[in-house]
Structure 1
């Protein structure tokens, strides 16, 4: 670990003094449990007032973090874990002035990838956080999902098709651990998946389509680095609608390696368009936002420019 005692206080310390650090001790199945304490130690060494938040499960951690945020005396929230922890932070801080810091120590880490943050390297992550505190926060867009009278915020991607089915299956698996779990779930789901009839309304224009998947992206990747929308920007005031139209299972299996490299965008079955508002309706499909379960379709997705302050 970086010797935080040797670091002097960042210039941003005058503006960001009191920081809550929410730690998921089960990130990467507990293999990186030392990262959270190292982050807390570094921040305290730099002169910050730190509230350390650790709970035995995710829901208790979410509730405890929400209580601390609601008190109103924080300047920033740092989450330590994967995309689930990022989702927790986004949904607590959306449309506030509090800054969100991310130390990526989870399995997928797709939001960290889009932000250009270090992945799986505690020393580099702590150094990046220190540099961000020195520079100050920036504003990025968020996506907002409305579903059944509820609202969910996301920074990365809303999945509503084959990819969401894979997520649903992967979340129920205990083996393999790590990013390979998503790949195994994808192959298993492919055996039974059929094209879905979607009803879309894109910026007021309705269309019906048979598709393998429909995603609405603010970020660039899902599933631990699948670059579905490689040209997406976090601060352009738009979302990227990603549609993979009907194709054979064999062709879909052949296409997926291209997605990891971002080389699929010119395929005839793939279309990506910049949008502001999308409603997605289909039977028996569950939507996921940043890898977290939202619920069955329909959903309405819209962009909210400059909705989040981030330390990245």
Structure 2
């Protein structure tokens, strides 16, 4: 008979407001499954993210084996910023609105039972190392595991975060239509691997993962462990043209359009006037922002 999986000391961080509070059952189900598997579990759950981050940070002491986050990409951002660059691996049980990093890692995103079974399975094996983006903005350093956005998509993200209806991915679609009515191209100043350039664009994103906004595959060829970032630029389009591009982004068929530029790099500095950057769906701060890939910076159970 195979040897039983070793018991792990696990911290579970739960977003009590994931999917607008409709998934409050998932955290207790994850905790129960981990306890039944013989692990030692400490669960922390708060609606206030700052308080949750502080509480979880205080639990990440020597001897902790895994941090499990239960929620969407906001929880992934919280977990990434607590354990990137450390030997503590991150595991994800997705139950939020976007779930983009979970999707990129092959974790089931629409079936909670499957996601919990996946978690129990991967905890029995060593974690894998993936890249992370080291972010410097507003004089503050942070981490991003998925995508940093600065432009139309960031404005859409901000608008969607402030909307209470509709629930689910359609919220991003409605936010996009609302923002589209007034959005104009922006003038960017870039430094890409030491090469300076000025561009006018609708949006610029720097991707470690393939998608944002609940499955918009902005960088379908991005690899999460290749030591490179995918720079995604959409040059000026009419409102109708941009509206035509975005459905193609969900299928990843936009990459051949003349207004779409995709390239790979290791370092990007983005600057523009009065633009706010978002990373993993969370506000980073006003531009300029410096982004550098750090190969293997984040251990994940996936």
2:138/2:286 contact within 8 Å kept: no
Q: Which runs of 5+ in 1 are unaligned?
A: 1-7
Cα gap change, 1:31 to 1:242, in 2 (>3 Å): same
Q: Does 1:81 align with 2:81?
A: no
Alignment match, 2:97: 107
Q: Does 1:194 align with 2:184?
A: yes
1:199 and 1:148 mapped to 2: Cα distance?
17
Q: For 1:158, what is the secondary structure of its paired residue?
A: strand
1:39 and 1:278 mapped to 2: Cα distance?
38
Alignment match, 2:170: 180
1:10/1:133 contact within 8 Å kept: no
Return the offset for 1:199.
Answer: 0.4
Return the offset for 1:178.
Answer: 1.5
Alignment of 1:1-312 (within 5 A): 11=4, 13-14=5-6, 17-69=8-60, 71-312=61-302
Return the offset for 1:135.
Answer: 2.0
Q: Which runs of 5+ in 2 are unaligned?
A: none
1:117 and 1:9 mapped to 2: Cα distance?
25
Query: Which runs of at least 4 in structure 1 moved beyond 2 Å after TM superposition?
Result: 8-11
1:23/1:36 contact within 8 Å kept: yes
2:97 and 2:2 mapped to 1: Cα distance?
31
Cα gap change, 1:56 to 1:212, in 2 (>3 Å): closer
Superposition TM-score, scaled by structure 2 size? 0.98
Superposition TM-score, scaled by structure 1 size? 0.94
1:301 and 1:194 mapped to 2: Cα distance?
24
Q: What are the superposed Cα offsets for residues 111-140 of structure 1, whole Å, 9 maximum, x if unpaired?
A: 001001001311101110011012221000
2:147/2:208 contact within 8 Å kept: yes
2:150/2:203 contact within 8 Å kept: yes
Q: How many residues are matched?
A: 302
1:22/1:78 contact within 8 Å kept: yes
Cα gap change, 1:153 to 1:198, in 2 (>3 Å): same
Q: What are the superposed Cα offsets for residues 232-256 of structure 1, whole Å, 9 maximum, x if unpaired?
A: 0011000000000111110000110
1:77/1:99 contact within 8 Å kept: yes
Cα gap change, 1:10 to 1:235, in 2 (>3 Å): farther
